[in-house]
């Protein structure tokens, strides 16, 4: 599969922890046409839990392979959009492909369409297996609750400029908004060659940190149970080993795993994953770890924080922690407070007076660079889109604008206004292309409601 250079990873990425832990999508790149359902029973906190999926053959069976990449892209896009309460994101097909490093000039637009259709039609049931607050709950959902998109042809194909309006499952949305997340090295994931390796990495990475925040250096599991967790079709031990062999090799070569061992025979054998660890921390890392230990942070927790967040973040958060203490704040639990400052993703702790956050300056610089990159890409896409507009007559431009605005505005514009909108476009009272561009800009700037109200006022004035 052609791999493009992944996007910058300066902005930290997060995976939704339920999705990552449960492995909703089969890691296999190809599955039989009749593989339309699966059920997995497993132990969870000393009791049995169940996860199941029911799909349709028309869309290629249960979600699998590349669908892992798409599902992760949607979670990241939702977070980039500010985690809207209704779970809706508006994006382009090009944007989804670029996030996961797929080739953006070939047949992967068709692969994206097929993947989105599977994620929209497959139904999941997690029985006493979905974490909500401090409880394990039972939920039934589809990964995508609603999918709408524009197409440049009458065959409903996706292309780079296609605008997609996607509403994620309420359960996933609530979990993300509740910050039930785990850090994810998206740059490393997208650099892996095979979809199966990327899916296995995502599943393994969810096992690498224990519930109390400690670092897990080794993960052991029964081979058949692991095959079920990976949603492998043929769960015969020899076949499971053959299916995972290439992914294991790549993860070892890339330094994520130190070793993969099998112990025992037949259905009772175990897979033992040993996660790679630096033989000796660098002097800089050792110095930061010593500071964490001196503040009372347990050694396994400190090492886990270093592995999850990196050296620069820990240095920055230690400086912020010390500045907060110098400002007069006296936490009851210094170690617990320091860990919370390091993990904070919601800016709970403002910069104390006189403290300048280097991380914040870097984040602003990174945002500026991303904005410039997006601007250049938008200009390229704009040239492509303009060519498409120019090929249409007045009625075609009006129809195209109405379709795109319906996706972008959704419930912000009442249905009764669309006929007047089409008429205004056809008669030249409103410019179709410019109106769509203004709507896209409003969506990016999170002011769609104001844009829709202004458009309604204009249509009322015309009509």
Give the torsion sign (CA, 232, 238, 241, 245): negative
**Comparing 103 with 125, which gets the higher pLDDT?**
125
Please tell me whether the overall predicted TM-score, pTM, comes out greater than 0.85 for this model: no
Closest Cα to residue 381, out of 373, 391, 393?
373
pLDDT at res. 447: 85
- Mean pLDDT for 370-398 is 70
Helix H or strand E encompassing 165: strand 163-168
Tokens 């769960």, residue located: 235
In degrees and rounded to multiples of 5, residue 191 shows phi and psi of -85, -15
Instruction: Tell me 274's DSSP state.
Output: E
The distance in angstroms from the start CA to the end CA of the chain is 53
Write down the pLDDT at residue 383: 61
Inter-residue contact 292 to 302 (CB < 8 Å): yes
Distance CA 254, CA 248 (A): 10
pLDDT at position 1, please? 42
Structure tokens at 69: 């990449």
pLDDT at 331: 85
pLDDT at 241 over 90: yes
Reported as a single tens digit per residue, the pLDDT across 243-300 is 999 999 999 988 889 899 999 999 999 999 999 875 566 788 888 888 998 888 877 6
Q: Quote the pLDDT of residue 392.
A: 81
Q: Enter the tokens of residue 178.
A: 């509740």
Which range, of 91-100, 185-194, 417-426, averages the lowest pLDDT? Answer: 185-194
DSSP 192: S
In angstroms, rounded to a whole number, what is the distance separating the alpha carbons of residues 367 and 376?
A: 14
Sheet hosting strand 135-141, strand order edge to edge: 37-44, 47-54, 123-132, 135-141
pLDDT score at 6: 45
User: 353-375: per-residue pLDDT in tens?
Assistant: 666 566 566 666 666 766 676 66
The pLDDT of residue 11 is: 39
The residue ranking higher by pLDDT, 70 or 180, is 70
Q: Who has greater pLDDT, 130 or 440?
A: 130
**Residue 54: its pLDDT value, please?**
96
pLDDT on residue 213: 56
pLDDT value for 37:
94
Asked whether the predicted pLDDT for residue 3 surpasses 60, the reply is no
The average pLDDT across 178-194 equals 81
Q: What is the mean pLDDT of residues 342-359?
A: 70
């Amino acid at each position: 599969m052609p791999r493009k250079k992944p996007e910058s990873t300066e902005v930290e990425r997060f995976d939704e922890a339920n999705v990552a832990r449960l492995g909703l999508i089969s890691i296999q790149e190809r599955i039989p046409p009749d593989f339309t359902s699966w059920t997995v029973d497993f132990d969870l906190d000393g009791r049995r839990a169940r996860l199941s999926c029911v799909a349709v053959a028309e869309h290629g069976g249960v979600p699998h392979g590349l669908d892992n990449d798409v599902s992760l892209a949607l979670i990241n896009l939702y977070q980039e959009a500010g985690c809207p309460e209704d779970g809706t994101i508006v994006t382009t097909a090009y944007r989804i492909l670029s996030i996961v490093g797929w080739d953006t000039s070939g047949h992967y637009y068709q692969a994206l369409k097929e993947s989105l259709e599977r994620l929209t039609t497959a139904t999941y049931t997690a029985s006493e297996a979905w974490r909500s607050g401090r409880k394990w709950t039972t939920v039934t959902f589809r990964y995508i609750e609603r999918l709408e998109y524009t197409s440049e042809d009458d065959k409903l194909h996706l292309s780079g400029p296609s605008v997609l309006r996607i509403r994620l499952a309420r359960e996933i949305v609530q979990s993300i908004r509740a910050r039930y997340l785990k850090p994810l090295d998206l740059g490393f994931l997208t650099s892996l060659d095979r979809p199966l390796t990327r899916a296995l990495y995502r599943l393994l990475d969810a096992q690498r940190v224990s519930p109390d925040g400690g670092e897990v250096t080794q993960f052991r599991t029964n081979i058949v149970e692991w095959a079920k967790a990976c949603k492998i079709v043929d769960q015969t031990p020899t076949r499971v080993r053959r299916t995972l062999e290439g992914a294991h090799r790549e993860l070892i070569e890339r330094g994520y795993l130190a070793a993969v061992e099998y112990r025992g025979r037949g259905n009772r054998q175990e897979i033992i994953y040993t996660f790679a660890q630096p033989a000796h921390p660098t002097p800089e890392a050792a110095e930061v770890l010593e500071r964490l230990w001196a503040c009372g942070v347990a050694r396994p927790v400190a090492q886990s924080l270093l592995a999850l967040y990196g050296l620069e973040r820990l240095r920055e958060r230690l400086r912020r922690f010390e500045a907060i203490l110098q400002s007069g704040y006296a936490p009851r639990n210094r170690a617990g407070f320091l860990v919370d400052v390091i993990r904070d993703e919601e800016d709970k702790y403002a910069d104390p007076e006189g403290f300048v956050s280097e991380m914040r300056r870097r984040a602003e610089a990174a945002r500026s660079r991303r904005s410039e990159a997006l601007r250049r890409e938008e200009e390229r896409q704009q040239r492509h889109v303009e060519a498409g507009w120019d090929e249409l007559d007045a009625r075609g431009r009006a129809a195209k604008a109405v379709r795109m605005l319906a996706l972008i505005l959704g419930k912000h514009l009442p249905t009764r206004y669309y006929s007047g909108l089409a008429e205004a476009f056809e008669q030249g009272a409103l410019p179709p292309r410019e109106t769509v561009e203004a709507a896209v800009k409003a969506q990016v700037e999170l002011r769609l409601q104001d844009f829709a109200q202004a458009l309604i006022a204009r249509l009322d004035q015309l009509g």
